[in-house]
Structures are given as structure tokens and as C-alpha cells.
Structure 1
Amino acid sequence: MTARIKSWTDTPSSPRFVPPPGAIDAHCHVFGPMAQFPFSPKAKYLPEDAGPDQLFALRDRLGLARNVIVQASCHGTDNRATVHAIAASGGRARGVAVVDPDIGDAELDALHAGGIRGIRFNFLKRLVDDAPKDKFLAVAQRIVRLGWHVVVYFEADILAELRPFLDALPVPIVVDHMGRPDVRQGPGGPDMQAFRALLNTRPDIWFKATCPDRLDAIKDGGAGAPWQAFADAVAPLVADYPNRCLWGTDWPHPNMDTEIPDDGALIDMIPRIAPSAALQQALLVDNPMRLYWPEELG
């Protein structure tokens, strides 16, 4: 049997930064429990169980208030683990599903009742075997009535190829991890400039200023601060698009078993990319509330 992967630490550091009240982890996952929610036979990795109790304990330890749980690729289009975690949150979580493009309207309605507010399209070939743009567009048309959005995960080298597809999406778009730019190029590098050009095409494209551990190979920034290239490249993006940025831990850090990040250090990245109280409030509270709990905003 393939060894199961553990990609998170049980002992994250205590962050120095204190998030504002109501702060939301807008990108995290759950794995299993496998005995209750088996992984997809097409899964590219087999993680250890990382269920809602662990996620919510981390939420509280880090000083956060809510979670947006994104369906992990290891569960395929079976969203039961994600919906189960949302139900266990007591109203403090919402979710993003991965669906078969042929899903029925009744099942979409059931997902909405279960707290799902978007669907995810994954274009990383190392994680998915097929990403049919025509079928993705068809299902995107069918979620307009629900007020959902689409979350898109891709790498920077295919952004130009994806532009016609992204332009055609009829709902708001949230880009995971900013489309994985090479942050070593700096804020004016070609990857970040191409991403800014995408943001400038329409006002309803959002992004997650997330995953310094994935995007910045330099763990030591020189003065005890890790991931300095990430901070340098991403802070100007947050400053220029303050009403369209989100943040999340990415816990339990799929496929990061060889370089397991410290969740406390991830929290301490927040003031480095959002240095003012106003930016922190937008990034952590106001923006995710608009997408995932709009009914509470009046």
C-alpha cells in the first residue's frame, strides 16, 4: 500500500501578528477521514486524515474566526468531506466544490444548502488528468442563478493560453495563489505584470495572496523573516487591488511533506503584504465576507 503523506505540523509556532476580529482563512482543505470519505481512485497523492476538528483547532490557535474550505483534488468530485466539515463548523465555514460538469441542478442546490458558494477548475496537470474548458464553461453558466463564483488554479506559464476561457466565464473569478507567479522576478517581473493585465480586464477577478511556502524557495529572507521575495512581489499587488484580495493558510498543505510550512509564520506574513489596518481588514474580513457570507452584510 502506498504510504500516506502528512504535510502539516502539529506544533505550529505562535504568531506575533494578531488578526482583526472576524478574520477568515479563505483557502484551506480537509482530507477524509478516509474511512468515512474515501479518496478518489484518480488521486495523485494519498494524505493522512486531516479532518474538521484539526482544522478548527488550528483556526482557533491562529486567532481566526472562519474558514472557506476548498475541495481538495484527492477527493475528486465527491464533495462529502468538504460539506461534512462545513456542517461541523456551526456556521463558521463555507466551501468551494469540485463538480462533474454533468452535475444536475438538484445536486447543485443541495451543495448550496450545504454551504458551497463556488466551484473550482484545476488546470495543474500534475494534479488532474483532464480539464475540459468547454464543459467547464457550460457548468459555469449553470451556477449563475446561485450567485456562485469560479475558483481557477493554474500556473503562470499557461495564463496566456487560458485568457479566452477566463474572459468567457459568466461569473466572478477567484484565482488561486495568483496563478503561481515566479515571485523571484519581483513585483515588476513578467509573471506579475501578466497577472495584473488579467486583473485589469474585468473588475470581478479576485485573487488569493497565498502560499509563500509554495512560491518562494528561499525560506530565510536574511533577517529571520522567511519568504522575502514573496513579500516584495505580493505587497504591491495587495496595495493596488485592496478590494479583490483574499488570504488563506492552505492547510493541510497538500504535497508539502518535504518542506512542511509553519502556520504561525504564514500568519506573520500577513502584515508584510498588508501593512496597514485597513488593508488587513479588507484582506481578512471584508473581502471574504462579500464572497462567502454576503447575507450577513445587509
Structure 2
Amino acid sequence: MQKIFDAHFHIIDPKFPLVENQGFVPDYFTVDDYLQELKEMSIEVTGGAVVSGSFQGYHQEYFAEAISELGNNFVGITQLPFDTTDEGILKLNDDGIRAIRFNLYRGLSASPKQIKELSERVYKLCNWKTELYLNLQTIDSELEELIFTLPKVSIDHLGMHKCSIDQLKKIVHADIPIRLTGFGRVGYERDEIRELITTLYSENPSCLIFGSDLPSTRARYRFSNNDIQLIKETVGREAQDRIFFQNGENWYLNK
């Protein structure tokens, strides 16, 4: 049985509202669905991060129930409107939220100034991390520079589309984790993902954080044991332990 800290997955509960995004509304995927799917793949989940998707907009209601059902060592990653009060942020922190997500890839617009201000505010208030969902291939120089100024920031889904390996090395050299998630949605073929894992891990063993990306909404193919196997065939046991659970636990559970 493979042990993981699942640093990126979605819970889509029919009891809570959804928001159409770019013409898309996902199927439901409850906590029970999530745990059952991992059980069927013989995966032991020790903790993880419930991530707010574009289709959940700024709705927060589902987090408290999902995190409570999942149990200890699970946290939430949310999207916030910029006028959220400090009191609102502290309440979400009490519910188990530990990071803020800026979903630039799916059209939730934000200027670099807005991102910086809100990221710094939630970090100062609650030590929250920042997650950026963007396309590293197409970001401009202002946004690229911003990445290196944010407190405790990480990059989602390998940066989505192919970019310079030097750009990725620069990111991990700055101790900015890259989330090893969404193999079925990124712009890399599987052999290219293997090469990235090998190269980036050798540059910074703490930089790769694994997540299932379940239920793989809008991906070309769904997460499966084949993705687990790809990592296990690429790196040795020590690296596997760091990628599958140690790096994620250190990032989200240790302030």
C-alpha cells in the first residue's frame, strides 16, 4: 500500500453551490467518493489539502465539513475576494484553511499588486501559504518577478505548459515548491515528466510536492496508479518518500 500526503485534490459536494467556469460544471465528488477511490487503488492517505476549484468561485461553506470528515492532517486551500476582512480570514483559519490560491489559469483575474497585497496579508495574519495556478510558459516579466517576492509560495501542476528548464531550476533554487500534480492536464508527455522529476529533485529534494488532483476535472485522463508507478520507476525509495508525503507534510503542516 502506497502512503501519500495528497497535497492537491477537490471535494465537490452536492450540498454546496457551484459556479460555472468557462462553460464547465463538474460532476460531484464527495469525501466518501475520494476515500473510496484511493482505497480501491491501495493508497493510504495520511493527510492532504482540499483545493478550491475555479468552479467553486469564492464559496467557502464546504470547507469546514470536508476537513472535519477527512480528519487530522487535512487542510484547505481557498480562493478569496480581495475585500475579505481580517475577521473573515481568521474564521477560515479556524475552519482549517492554510493557504490562498490564485487561479490565473482559469480566468479568475488578479493584478500582481492585488496578489502581493493579499498574499502578504494572509501570511501576516495566519502564516498562510500562497498557491499560484498559472501557465509558466506565457507569464510576463512582472508576474515572474512577483513569484520570487511572495511569502511561502508554490506553483501548481508543474507550471502547466512547457517552459525553460532554467526557469524551473530558478524557481526551485529559490525554495519555491512545484506541485507534482495533474499529469493528465499538463503540457508535458509522460517521459518528459520523468525527466522533470529527475532534474528538479536533483536541484532541490524539497521542491516536489505530490498530489492526486482527483477527481481530475477537465484533464485528458484521470489520476490512477499509473501516475504513482511513474514516480516510483523514476526515483529511488528516499526520493519517493520525500515526494509522496514528507515534502507535503513539511509544507502544509509545519509552520
Query: What is the TM-score with the length of structure 1 in the denominator?
Result: 0.77
Q: What is the SS of the residue equivalent to 2:49? A: strand
Give 1:65's aligned residue. 46
Q: Report the counterpart of residue 232 of structure 1 in structure 2.
A: 195
C-alpha separation between the residues in 1 aligned to 2:135 and 2:75?
25
Q: Is the 8 A contact 1:239 1:279 kept in 2?
A: no
Share of identical aligned residues, percent?
A: 19
The answer (yes or no) to whether the contact 2:10–2:53 under 8 Å persists in 1 is: yes
Residue in structure 1 matched with residue 110 of structure 2 by the alignment: 131
The corresponding residue for 1:9 is none
Residue 71 (structure 2) pairs with residue 90 (structure 1): yes
Amino acid at match of 1:270: I
CA separation of 1:249 and 1:56: change in aligned 2, threshold 3 A: same
Deviation at 1:93, TM superposition (A): 1.6
Matched, 1:261 2:222: yes
Q: Is the 8 A contact 2:76 2:98 kept in 1?
A: yes
Aligned pairs for 1:70-81 (under 5 A) are: 70-81=51-62
Matching of residues 214-293 of structure 1 within 5 Å: 214-215=185-186, 227-256=190-219, 259-273=220-234, 275-293=235-253
- For each residue in 1:221-242, what CA deviation from the matched residue of structure 2 results, as whole angstroms up to 9, or x when unmatched? xxxxxx2222123322123211
- The letter for the 2-side match of 1:237 is L
Amino acid at match of 1:207: I
Aligned match of 1:180: 160
Q: CA deviation at 1:116?
A: 0.9
* SS, match of residue 177 in structure 2: strand
Give the ranges of 4+ consecutive aligned residues of structure 1 lying more than 3 Å apart after TM superposition.
41-44
Once the two structures are TM-superposed, the CA of residue 43 in structure 1 deviates from its matched residue by 5.9
**Residue 155 of structure 2 corresponds to residue 194 of structure 1:** no
CA distance in 1, matches of 2:112, 2:204: 27
- AA in 2 matched with 1:107: G
Q: Tell me if 1:19 matches 2:15.
A: no
Contact 1:156/1:179, CA 8 A, preserved across alignment: yes
- The amino acid that maps onto 1:277 is R
Query: Residues 206-217 of structure 1 correspond to what in structure 2 (within 5 A)?
Result: 206-215=177-186
Indicate how the Cα distance of structure 1 residues 210 and 177 shifts in structure 2: closer, same or farther if over 3 A, else same.
Answer: same
C-alpha contact (below 8 Å) 2:79/2:101 kept by paired residues: yes
Q: For 1:37, what is the secondary structure of its paired residue?
A: coil
Structure 1 runs not aligned, ≥5 long: 1-17, 183-189, 219-226
**Would the alpha carbon gap of residues 79 and 167 (structure 1) be closer, same or farther in structure 2, given more than 3 Å must change?**
same
- Aligned residue type for 1:245: L
TM-aligned CA distance change 1:43 to 1:86, over 3 Å = farther
Aligned to 1:156: 136
- Assess, with a 3 A threshold, how the Cα gap between structure 1 residues 50 and 165 changes in structure 2: closer, same or farther: same
TM-score (norm 2): 0.89
1:56 alignment counterpart: 35
- Confirm or deny: 8 A CA contact 2:185 2:221 kept in the other structure: no
Q: Unaligned 5+ residue runs, structure 2?
A: none
Which one has a larger percent strand, Structure 1 or Structure 2?
Answer: 2
What is the rounded CA distance, in whole Å, between the counterparts of 2:24 and 2:155 in structure 1? 23
Per-residue deviation, 1:92: 4.0
